[in-house]
Structure 1
Amino acid sequence: MLVNTKDILLEAQKKKYAVAAFNVINLETVQAAIQAAENEKQPVIIALGERYFPTVNVEGFAALVRALASKARVPVALHLDHAYEKESIIRAIQNGFTSVMYDGSKYDLSENISRTKEIADIAHQANVSVEAEIGSLARGAFSDEEEGDGTLTDPQSAKEFVEATSVDFLAAAIGTVHGMYQGEPKISLQLLERIRDAVDIPLVLHGGSGTPDEIIRQTIGRGICKINVNTEVSMAAVTYLQNRSDQSMVHLSTIMSEMQKSMETVMTKFIRLFAE
């Protein structure tokens, strides 16, 4: 069933676990995410980044997710990830997305608040929940996300931001990266604790890929309720395709089915970890 993302995260916050938000781009990635969630009896967030709009038909994609979610035995949310344009957010809302992320992290705090509040007002009128970000993530290896400057979230700024915008959940920049780490991860759990003390809405961790399991567990214990995963799923699919390159010709349907299973395995690992 398709549900509001806020409802999923408030339940996760109450029971102290995290929900996986998988970045998806096609039928196989959506099916893998929902199947993994059903197998584990856990909710799941299907996330489409604005950066994929040029290659993914949003109207068709949203209809696909809604159809699959209607048959799912677990709660499924449909989320717009890292949107920078108001037009993209309105398009997502019109097509049944249950949450949107407006990323105004490139602006100073005052401008970010102003732009995010406008988005929150629009989305809340349609009963769509809103994620926003203070600070930004640097880009690691194998990521196709935009390059951030790695500025960490200031707890007092986060408090001011949440109070002024009425966003429903907040992405906290505590040292994770988009993609895989190059070198030892430098993640500040102490900073996360201070952010948790400053705001009472669910917190989001971007950059789940490559983050050590124990660090993941500790972030969940300190208030993280949603964790975004993209790169490790992509790597599993690409690795499967690379390993098939020297094998005999098979039908495309077989390749796509087996690739979906490779992604489902990785997604299952994350769902189990986040639900511990």
Structure 2
Amino acid sequence: MLMTMKELLKVANENEFAVPAFNICSYDMLKAIMEEVEANEAPVILEIHPDEIAYLGDEFIATVKEYALRSRVPVVIHMDHGGTIQDVMRAIRNGYTSVMIDASTVPYEENVALTKEVVKLAHKVGVSVEAELGTIGNNGSAEGGADSIIYTDPDQAEEFVKETEIDTLAVAIGTAHGLYPKDKKPELNIDLLKNAT
């Protein structure tokens, strides 16, 4: 069953359970993940980055959507780390139920302006919107990030959510995308996370 991120996370929050999110880039990954979540009767968020769609083509999303519609478990199709209005519009046209606009590396005011524009477009057609505040680290992933992490300020995050009317917010607490080199140890700021909730 196909759902928006807002719908699914509302149920998860009310019932205090986590929802796994997997970045997928092939039919084999899609099939394996869907078999597992259905066997475990667990909802899932299928994340697909704009670079992956550029490679796989829009037809791949039609397959993902068909899987979701036939599934016995709740499924969100989410565009992960879109950087432009064009990314967002392509995702919406392809049937994603959630989009992320990642303007975390631009000044705060620009992030707010772009995010508000995406919210206006996506909410008109019932698509959830995620944004990012602060920057995650980057270990060579196409999903971006920064060489040094800028932690999310909880007070600024509250203001950002109110001003933009997003449905979900990606926060920076010390994680990084990509594989960690042997000499690099992730250091999560758990106190910051507790402060933000």
Bucket of the pairwise TM-score, normalised by the shorter protein = over 0.9
- Point out which structure has higher relative CO (alpha carbons under 8 A, 6+ apart): 1
Give the corresponding residue for 2:130: 131
Q: What secondary structure does 1:180 align onto?
A: coil
Map 1:57-206 → 2, pairs under 5 A: 57-58=57-58, 60-140=59-139, 143-148=141-146, 149-182=148-181, 183-196=184-197
Alignment partner, residue 46 of structure 1: 46
Q: Is the 8 A contact 1:109 1:157 kept in 2?
A: no
Alpha-carbon offset, residue 124 of structure 1: 0.2
Q: CA deviation at 1:36?
A: 1.2
* Cα distance between partner residues in 1 of 2:8 and 2:185: 32
Alignment correspondent of 1:31: 31
Helix, strand or coil at the partner of 2:192: helix
Instruction: Give the whole-Å Cα distance in 2 for the aligned partners of 1:140 and 1:110.
Output: 27
Could you say what secondary structure the match of 1:55 adopts? helix
TM-score, scaled relative to structure 1: 0.67
Aligned to 1:117, the other structure's residue is in SS state helix
CA deviations on 1:70-103 (whole Å, 9 max, x unpaired) are: 2211111100000001011011111211000000
Q: CA deviation at 1:192?
A: 0.8
Q: Size of the alignment, in residue pairs? A: 194
Q: Tell me how large the CA RMSD over aligned residues is.
A: 1.4
Q: Distance in 2 between matches of 1:134 and 1:159?
A: 10
Q: Which has the larger radius of gyration?
A: 1
Q: Which runs of 4+ in 1 moved over 6 A?
A: none
Superposed CA offset, 1:121-158 (max 9, x none):
100000000000001111237x4432423111011110
1:56 to 2:56 alignment: yes
List gaps (5 residues or longer) in structure 1. 197-276
User: Given that residues 81 and 143 in structure 2 are in contact (C-alpha distance below 8 angstroms), is that contact kept between their aligned partners in structure 1?
Assistant: no
Distance in 2, Cα, partners of 1:112 & 1:106: 8
* Superposition deviation, residue 109 in structure 1: 1.1
Residue 262 of structure 1 corresponds to which residue in structure 2?
Answer: none
Q: For residues 150-178 of structure 1, give each alpha carbon's deviation from its aligned partner in whole angstroms, at most 9, with x where no partner exists.
A: 11101111011000000000001100111
Distance 1:185 1:16 in 2: 26
Alpha-carbon distance, 1:13 to partner:
1.4
**Richer in helix (by share):** 1
TM-score for both structures, normalised by structure 2: 0.93
Matches of 1:18 and 1:174, distance apart in 2: 18
Aligned to 1:267: none
Asked if 1 retains the 8 angstrom alpha-carbon contact of 2:48 and 2:78, the reply is yes
Q: Distance in 2 between matches of 1:72 and 1:150?
A: 38
Cα deviation, residue 62, structure 1: 1.7
Percent of pairs with identical residues: 38
Q: Secondary structure at the match of 1:47?
A: strand
Give me the whole-angstrom Cα distance separating, in 2, the residues matched to 1:20 and 1:115. Answer: 27
Paired residue secondary structure (1:77): strand
User: In structure 1, what residue type is equivalent to 2:8?
Assistant: I
Q: Is the 8 A contact 2:53 2:60 kept in 1?
A: no
Partners of 1:189 and 1:119 lie apart in 2 by 30
